[in-house]
Structure 1
């Protein structure tokens, strides 16, 4: 997903051809040869092309397949599969990519330890030096600290985070979309960024820190700033060399780290003081920041700046993608509005039941003062309630499946590889999965996989967070995104709040519905949305 952020932000109009700057006079032949070899230009890529893997023919006059792919991604990928088989090479997004197709190769792809997502990102963007500039520790190639932080301090506590998540989402909605009468929002993503950013700021840093406006702004702005600094994934050796040199000494993210440090320092000092005074009676906050402080030595953190640098990496890996998914989900609610009544009925029924259970439990425990606090359905929007909303879960999973980029999850081969079907992938090659061959196949998805069927997964035991070869939106196996649980909870909570507030969500330009539904992650908005509140 982070690959899509780096490559796709503001890139829809970028030319597809790879650009390699070749010095004409100033360098010796040996240096020029080294530059071309390291840069991975088209020429060097062709030298590496294995004879076993066919390369899709280019149209007359074309230097890449980008235009053909963008015209109809599904048709292009299907054509390639039929004409060239399950493994083939294409020139897409300024890169030579080897595409692997089908569930068996997808499983093989994710289980192969010699295919590296991080190496692919670094080759395309030169981002590793940049990432290292954010932190003072854990600067190793296969660093897993961010993965562990989510696994240990986010996923097990999703049920604890949801009240805060819902509360912050509600406040942002009330402040930005109150009493709408076909109110036009040209770029819904901007509102969703604030909603998701404010919610995740409290998850990561606690409400006292996370509710501060400057912290929310950093959570919203750091990902676009990051993408701007890294660029559009243009494969230019000299530019990458310049970025690596530049970010070895300075980082445009320093301002964001300072915001987090300034906001967190007094709160951390107070927490330490309270812990010292209260001893065993001290109630530890359950935010991610506290987990990082409690395990400071375990994760080799150096100081609070280092902790906040790692928090920014968490933000980069989560908030922008969650915002993109959330905004895109609104277009599905608009396009398939005939199904929203069923969703509203389920939401109302489950929330009413959850509210009664909470009230009954409070009375049973003798805590009658808590019972009157359930004054509106959203107060009962808990993780337990979301689990009961099976139609909502199916709607979300189907939207994620239906929207899928047809090739994704680019990795780099760290050594020469031979696939189980005999195809050889050379060291240094970028490899991506053909999601059309899994997300759009009837054998894996059931009848009419090319159609959006919102209840496709009801009763199938396939939740929106469950990964497998038939659903690769969050990866698979040990490489599956550990943040998918909080992400899908946030998505479902957002849909609940939207449907409870708005009787209708419409596209400004219905003729652009297909482009909006299948928009690449982080691509520019193709049409606005009209919001009408319940009366």
Structure 2
């Protein structure tokens, strides 16, 4: 027998013993494990080929909470009735589970609780100083939209909208991360954008090595996927080091008389315990990159989905444009937060896009306490993984009516339910202590972006059908299809007596 054959047999035996030990350790009243035929493989085939159909069938047969066995790991699936108990439990950690899936801390040299600190950055910089960034953000969006999309006097097909969106959002976010001086550095903008692309690649890597043991999968991410990220981090350090040295020089010279910049770098430099005589550039660059994924990648995905929904439903364009004119009758290029908050129709359309284009199974948590006990009596032991069955929440007829699977852009009007509000009925941004801390900034940024596009262009799907293509799903996570979009200069044609109430149709 060859060495390779021996190794394969040995790894299979190891996987079987690992699985047997998992069954021996079931000491709690755990949720039912969905039946499967094939050892080791478990439910992985059904999970990968059609996760939507698979989970729907499991829920009908096993109820609100059940466990599945995929990629060598038990995962407890929780739906609408018990999902909020996971978010509100101190014994469940989303950051610990996320680090298991994509070991960012180990790749970037950050402490294990880096996501908690990233949340502090979002609260204190992106949200706490949002009023200062509103003008700069809109100026940046106008400039970059003009440059990358253009006037479109003749219809213009953008073959890869996601890449254009990445460039625009990256430029906007980079300014908040590193300030005005470095924010205009095209190379640094490209570096942050490339990090977002590399991170997305890591998120899409199948977990096949988990059949042997989860450790093998994590090591493959670190060894292969992490190499490019390490290069990116080094490039970030090379870019920010001179700027930080100049900031510290000015601080020593002028002391309290110096007005410091408002950006993420300055927030990091002002943290207690930072040795300004011996700056830890690995830590600062790592924190900037950790923020980048949330601030750029997820925002781009949301805008991409929003544009696909808008381009395939032209009946909403005039109504949304009319709202812009009512709020901003002088057509000022720069709007304030109060005006942005009054975009109720736009907000409702965005929330509907988030609801229907969101993930099927997401928001993974790991049990870090002795156990997580649910109100129905089931217990999930320490170390277990839990994922939220989001589609079960966001497509529920009891919550959203008998047409819950249909897109209706104004479904959320007059319901005091803005896109940034988290609740048991809307979990796109999480909930409780695990809710996304930067969601208010993200929603405002998307509304500013969408407002400019609605005023400037008619946007349509490039295919003959004009229908929105379905998203593709990897490991329960939904990604928009790379569908080309047509942008054409907008000509205002609506009737001032336009009926604001649209029919609930696709």
CA distance in 1, matches of 2:14, 2:468: 48
Q: For residue 333 of structure 1, what is the aligned residue in structure 2?
A: 310
User: CA-to-partner distance for each residue in 1:161-185, whole Å, 9 max, x for gaps?
Assistant: 1211122222221111113333222
SS in structure 1 at match of 2:328: helix
2:374 to 403, 416, 419: 419
> Which residue is equivalent to 2:435?
480
Please, which runs of 5 or more residues in structure 2 have no aligned partner? 492-506
> What is residue 409 of structure 2 aligned with on the other side?
454
Following TM superposition, by how much is the alpha carbon of 1:298 offset from its aligned partner in structure 2, in angstroms?
6.3
- Structure 1 residues 240, 141: closer, same or farther in 2, change over 3 A? farther
Deviates most, 325-334 or 157-166: 157-166
1:38-117 counterparts in 2 under 5 A?
52-57=30-35, 64=43, 67=46, 71=50, 73=52, 76-91=54-69, 95-103=73-81, 105-117=82-94
1:349, CA displacement in angstroms?
Answer: 2.1
Counterpart of 2:157 in structure 1 is 184
Which structure 1 residue ranges, 5 or more long, are not aligned?
A: 1-21, 356-375
State the shift of 1:452 in Å: 1.6
Q: TM-score, normalised by structure 1?
A: 0.79
Give the Å deviation of 1:109. 0.8
- Aligned to 1:314, which of 291, 294, 297? 291
How do 1:71-470 residues align onto structure 2 when only pairs under 5 Å count?
A: 71=50, 73=52, 76-91=54-69, 95-103=73-81, 105-125=82-102, 127=103, 130-135=104-109, 139-140=111-112, 144-180=116-152, 181-228=154-201, 232-236=205-209, 237=213, 239-240=216-217, 242-243=219-220, 246=223, 251-295=227-271, 297=273, 302-352=279-329, 377-380=332-335, 382-414=336-368, 415-446=370-401, 448-470=403-425
Distance, in Å, in 2 between the alignment partners of 1:193 and 1:512 is 24
1:187–1:92 CA distance, 2 compared to 1 (3 A): farther
Rounded Cα–Cα distance in structure 1 between residues aligned with 2:80 and 2:373: 16
Inter-CA distance 203–521: structure 2 relative to 1 (3 Å threshold):
farther
- 3-state SS of paired residue (1:317): helix
In angstroms, what is the RMSD of aligned CA positions?
Answer: 3.5
Deviation at 1:337, TM superposition (A): 1.6
Q: Distance in 1 between matches of 2:286 and 2:62?
A: 45
Deviation of 1:27 after TM superposition, in Å, equals 11
SS in structure 2 at match of 1:252: helix
Q: How far did residue 98 of structure 1 move?
A: 1.5
Query: Matched residues in 1 for 2:254 and 2:30: separation?
Result: 68
- Secondary structure in 1 matching 2:387: strand
What TM-score comes out, normalization by structure 2 length? 0.83
**Equivalent pair of 1:402/1:518 in contact (CA under 8 Å):** no
1:377 offset after TM fit, Å? 2.6
Contact residue 124 and residue 235 of structure 1 kept, 8 A? no
Count of residue pairs brought into register by the alignment: 479
Could you tell me whether the CA contact under 8 Å between 1:394 and 1:457 is conserved in 2?
yes
Quote how far apart the aligned CAs of 1:52 are.
5.0
**Whole-Å Cα distance in 2 between the matches of residues 351 and 255 of structure 1?**
45
Q: Matched residues in 2 for 1:456 and 1:94: separation?
A: 41
Contact map agreement 2:169 2:300 (CA 8 A) in 1 = yes
Deviation at 1:66, TM superposition (A): 5.2
Change (3 A) 1:65 1:273: closer
CA distance in 2, matches of 1:518, 1:403: 10
Query: Would the aligned equivalents of 2:472 and 2:481 in 1 still touch at CA under 8 Å?
Result: no
